[in-house]
Structure 1
């Protein structure tokens, strides 16, 4: 919920009458003066969102035949290929320390 420019927006599923009919009084701790704030409410629809399209480095791509022998699949996301390459390097003790 946000309080901005004197409008109070909420994300509940209840629908309130127009903001003119709904006001409430709020007191400030530093003064006894009352302040009127208008309230307007919006509804959040419960519609299901379509599945997100996989893009970028998460999208499965074809790998070369040599890489397919290493990772074990003809098509894989770049992040997964990198994980498998590092697993191969560690399993075969191919990582060297700094020179």
Structure 2
């Protein structure tokens, strides 16, 4: 049995040796040319067809009417939820309203109190929940 196994493995070694010698080894000129082609690739922009229409945003990306209080804060009559949260966070960062000892807590000024139900302090995870009533539900 041992001699049969040796014949099989020796045969495989012979086949693999032939396959290794048949593949060309890369030279310096071919590797340099390959590097140039990899770095010089240009991404093409997708081609728009004449009859195609762009997708309209849906879900939280869709602009919907907002309450007067949130409209005064954002300065627009309608907004997407994601844009509203982004602008609220920009305001918080600009005015440094995060609690320095507990970064997960926001200390509300008068302008934020109008949209956060008059609360003095709000947690980070509460922001999305507290602005939810400001978005008018449409059928």
**TM-score (normalizing by structure 1):** 0.47
Write 1 or 2 for the structure with the bigger share of strand.
1
Point out the structure with the larger helix share. 2
Higher radius of gyration, 1 or 2: 2
For normalisation by structure 2, the TM-score amounts to 0.35
